[in-house]
C-alpha cells in the first residue's frame, strides 16, 4: 500500500532508451515529492532533457530525458591498409583490410562498445612466401635467399627434356607460390615410318629432341613433302613426314590419233589436248593424269581418263 499522495514503482516510458537508476530497483513505494533518476541504456548517451521524475499527488511526472546511440567515430588508421565499417555507432563493427601484398596481424575486427572501440588497431605486415618449390630436373633462377616478398618472381629451366607449364612462378598476395612447372623426362621421337625411303644411320632407333635427319627415296620413287625433318619437344616429327610414291614411265606428249597437244602448263600441271576438226571429244576437252604424279622437267603432269570418238 502507498501512503496518501505517494507513488508506486515508476514504469518505464514506452519507446524510451532510458531506465530507472539501479538504486531504485528494489523499492516498491515512494512518498509524495520523492524524486527518482533515470540513466540511458548501455550504448546510449544523454542528449537533452531532465533525468528526474517526481511523485506528485500519486503520479509520476513525465520523463524528459532523451538518449541516442553512442558514436565511436573513427576506429583508427592502418598503415598499408584500411578499416571497412558497418557503421560507427554502438554495436557496429570496423574490420581491418590490408593492401595487396600485406596481411593482417592480430584481431582484424573492432566493435563499437559503450566506451568506444574495443581491441587495438590491427597491423598489416608484408606478405612473405616460404622457400620456392624444387622442380625435379630444373635449374632455378631469381633470388636465392629469403625474404621472398609479394610479387617476387622465380624462373625455372629444365636441364633435360621439356618444361611443362609456366616457366615463371611468383609469390601471391596470399603468401603462397603460384603453380610450379614440371620437367618431362628425356624427349625422343620414334623411327620415321616412311615407306620406300631411307636415311643415314640406323633405320630402327629413336631420335633425341632437336635431332634432324634427311630422308632419301629408294630408286624408282619420288618424294612428295619435306626431305628434312626434326624431332620436336612433343615427341613428334616436324614438319610432317613426306610421302614417297612410285615414279611412272614418262612420255613427253600424250598419244591420241584424234587429238594434238596445244599447251603444257606447270601452273595447271596438265597437258591439254585439242581434237582435229573432224572428231569430237566426249565428256571433257582435256585429259589429266589424276591418280599418279610424275615429276619430270621441273613440273608435274596429272591425267584423267577421257575418250575421243
Tell me the per-residue pLDDT of 261-303, one tens digit each, with 9 for 90 and over: 444 333 333 344 333 333 343 433 333 333 344 333 333 434 4
Q: Over the stretch 113-126, which tens digit does the pLDDT of each residue have?
A: 988 999 999 999 99
Cis bond upstream, residue 241 (ω within 30) = no
Dist. CA 93–CA 63, nearest whole Å: 32
Task: Please report whether residue 75 resides in a domain.
Answer: no
The CATH number assigned to the domain holding 219 equals 2.10.70.10
Task: Please report whether residue 280 resides in a domain.
Answer: yes
At residue 151, does pLDDT exceed 50? yes
Dist. CA 254–CA 303, nearest whole Å: 10
Task: Please report whether residue 265 resides in a domain.
Answer: yes
* The three cell numbers locating residue 214: 634427311
* Mean pLDDT score, 180-205: 85
278 compared with 194, residue with greater pLDDT = 194
119 burial level (CB within 10 Å; 0-12, 13-18, 19+): middle
Dist. CA 244–CA 285, nearest whole Å: 31
Dist. CA 42–CA 118, nearest whole Å: 15
At residue 258, does pLDDT exceed 50? no
Task: Identify whether residues 63 and 14 lie together within a single domain.
Answer: yes
Q: Which single residue is written with the C-alpha cell 601484398? A: 101
What pLDDT sits at residue 252? 52
What pLDDT sits at residue 232? 85
Task: Please report whether residue 254 resides in a domain.
Answer: no
Average pLDDT over the chain reads 81
Task: Please report whether residue 74 resides in a domain.
Answer: no
Name the band, by pLDDT with cuts 50, 70 and 90, for residue 247: confident
Lowest mean pLDDT among 137-141, 198-202, 302-306: 302-306
76 compared with 273, residue with greater pLDDT = 76
Q: Which single residue is written with the C-alpha cell 613426306? A: 242
Contact in structure between 126 and 98 (CB atoms under 8 Å): no
Contacts for 1 with CB less than 8 Å, ≥ 6 apart: 29
**Which range marks the domain in which residue 291 is found?**
259-308
Task: Please report whether residue 252 resides in a domain.
Answer: no
Q: In the chain, what are the helix, strand and coil shares in percent, each to the nearest 5?
A: 0, 45, 55
Amino acid at each position: 500500500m502507498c501512503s496518501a499522495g505517494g507513488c508506486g514503482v515508476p514504469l518505464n516510458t514506452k519507446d524510451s532508451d532510458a531506465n530507472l537508476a539501479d538504486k531504485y530497483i528494489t523499492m516498491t513505494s515512494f512518498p509524495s515529492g520523492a524524486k527518482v533518476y533515470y540513466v540511458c541504456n548501455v550504448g546510449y548517451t544523454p542528449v537533452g532533457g531532465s533525468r528526474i521524475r517526481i511523485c506528485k499527488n500519486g503520479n509520476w511526472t513525465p520523463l524528459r530525458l532523451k538518449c541516442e546511440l553512442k558514436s565511436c567515430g573513427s576506429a583508427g588508421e592502418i598503415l598499408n591498409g584500411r578499416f571497412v565499417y558497418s557503421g560507427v555507432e554502438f554495436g557496429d563493427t570496423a574490420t581491418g583490410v590490408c593492401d595487396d601484398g600485406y596481411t593482417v596481424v592480430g584481431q582484424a575486427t573492432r566493435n563499437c562498445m559503450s566506451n568506444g572501440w574495443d581491441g587495438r588497431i590491427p597491423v598489416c605486415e608484408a606478405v612473405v612466401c616460404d622457400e620456392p618449390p624444387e622442380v625435379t630436373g630444373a635449374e632455378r633462377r631469381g633470388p636465392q635467399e629469403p625474404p621472398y616478398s609479394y610479387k617476387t618472381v622465380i624462373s625455372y629451366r629444365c636441364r633435360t627434356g621439356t618444361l611443362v607449364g609456366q616457366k615463371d612462378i611468383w609469390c601471391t598476395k596470399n603468401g603462397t607460390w603460384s603453380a610450379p612447372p614440371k620437367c618431362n623426362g628425356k624427349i625422343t621421337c620414334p623411327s620415321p615410318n616412311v615407306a620406300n625411303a631411307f636415311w643415314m644411320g640406323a633405320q630402327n632407333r629413336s631420335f633425341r629432341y632437336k635431332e634432324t635427319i634427311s630422308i632419301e627415296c629408294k630408286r624408282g620413287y619420288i618424294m612428295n613433302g619435306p626431305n628434312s625433318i626434326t624431332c620436336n619437344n612433343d615427341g613428334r616429327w616436324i614438319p610432317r613426314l613426306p610421302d614417297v610414291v612410285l615414279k611412272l614411265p614418262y612420255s613427253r606428249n600424250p598419244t591420241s590419233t584424234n587429238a594434238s597437244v596445244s599447251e603444257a602448263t606447270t601452273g595447271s600441271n596438265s597437258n591439254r589436248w585439242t581434237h582435229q576438226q573432224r572428231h569430237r571429244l566426249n565428256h571433257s576437252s582435256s585429259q589429266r593424269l589424276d591418280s599418279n604424279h610424275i615429276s619430270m622437267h621441273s613440273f608435274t603432269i596429272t591425267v584423267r581418263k577421257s575418250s575421243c570418238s
